[in-house]
């Protein structure tokens, strides 16, 4: 929600600032612009945040009324509506169910970067993957499963894929797959295409960039992930509150900058579900402002915002 998240960005001012949040390109129109009314009533605000919480687990603080307006204003323009009350009438009406997904897409944050929180990828390369290679040598089973939960527009799973390809020289002899999921169906389209602004690739280490990133011939300002990387990653829409179709087990799960927007009860449930899908000894990577303290006892600390399943 890295998307992520990465995945959601309207619950806390500190988190919004951390995510580089400015409304995601949306703006608060002046009072006389195209008939827009800047205020959002308490009733409309409460309806939107009730829907956000019940359908996506998003907890929206009382003081986030202006931010919610900025977020939904784009949807109002798309529907040619003049007020949030008009929009809420749709949400409450017979077509309301069809509008849930666009609303959640509008409310979610998609700020992410390649190799964000680089120490996670260093740990994966130096600790997690050597451990998995040793297990494969001992058992003869070269199966590897990684889940990027809240993957946003795909920078995180592609960073995982590059780390994987760079760390396991015989990866073509492995049954290796990366699942990338996010609640925002629009950002998943970017990840599936694997095409980004060339400036976004500057966060990729130079050696990896030369191997796995291609400048687009038709547009030199754009770049694409290599076919090998795209073959490793499968993008799927998923609301983390819904039943999960995958059964695992996963060796590694990334869920970064997502759970800080959930209630503690939702966090406890979510990490318990993660534990059920991660192998004993497998690793969980979370955001630097997140913690499992008093949330889950099924993991031990293995590094900065890195946990290992123990039960």
Q: Which residues are designated catalytic?
A: 71, 182
CA angle 152, 153, 158 (to 5 degrees): 100
């Amino acid at each position: 929600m890295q998307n992520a998240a990465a995945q959601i960005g309207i619950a806390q001012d500190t988190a919004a600032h951390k995510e580089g949040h400015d409304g995601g390109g949306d703006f608060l129109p002046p009072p006389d612009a195209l008939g827009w009314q800047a205020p959002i009533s308490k009733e409309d605000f409460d309806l939107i945040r009730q829907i956000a919480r019940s359908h996506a687990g998003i907890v929206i603080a009382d003081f986030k009324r202006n931010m919610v307006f900025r977020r939904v204003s784009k949807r109002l323009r798309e529907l040619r509506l003049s007020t949030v009350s008009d929009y809420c009438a749709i949400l409450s009406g017979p077509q309301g169910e069809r509008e849930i997904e666009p609303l959640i897409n509008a409310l979610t944050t998609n700020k992410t970067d390649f190799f964000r929180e680089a120490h996670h990828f260093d740990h994966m390369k130096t600790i997690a993957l050597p451990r998995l290679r040793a297990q494969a040598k001992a058992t003869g089973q070269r199966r590897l499963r990684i889940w990027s939960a809240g993957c946003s527009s795909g920078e995180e799973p592609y960073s995982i894929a590059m780390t994987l390809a760079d760390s396991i020289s015989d990866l073509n002899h492995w049954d290796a797959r990366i699942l990338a999921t996010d609640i925002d169906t629009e950002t998943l389209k970017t990840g599936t295409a694997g095409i980004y602004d060339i400036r976004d690739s500057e966060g990729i280490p130079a050696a990896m960039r030369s191997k796995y990133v291609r400048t687009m011939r038709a547009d030199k300002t754009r770049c694409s992930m290599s076919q090998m990387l795209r073959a490793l990653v499968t993008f799927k829409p998923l609301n983390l509150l819904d039943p999960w179709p995958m059964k695992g087990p996963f060796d590694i799960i990334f869920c970064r900058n997502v759970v800080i927007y959930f209630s503690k009860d939702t966090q406890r449930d979510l990490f318990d579900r993660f534990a059920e899908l991660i192998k004993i000894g497998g690793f969980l990577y979370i955001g630097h402002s997140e913690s499992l303290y008093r949330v889950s006892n099924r993991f031990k600390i293995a590094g900065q915002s890195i946990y290992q399943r123990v039960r």
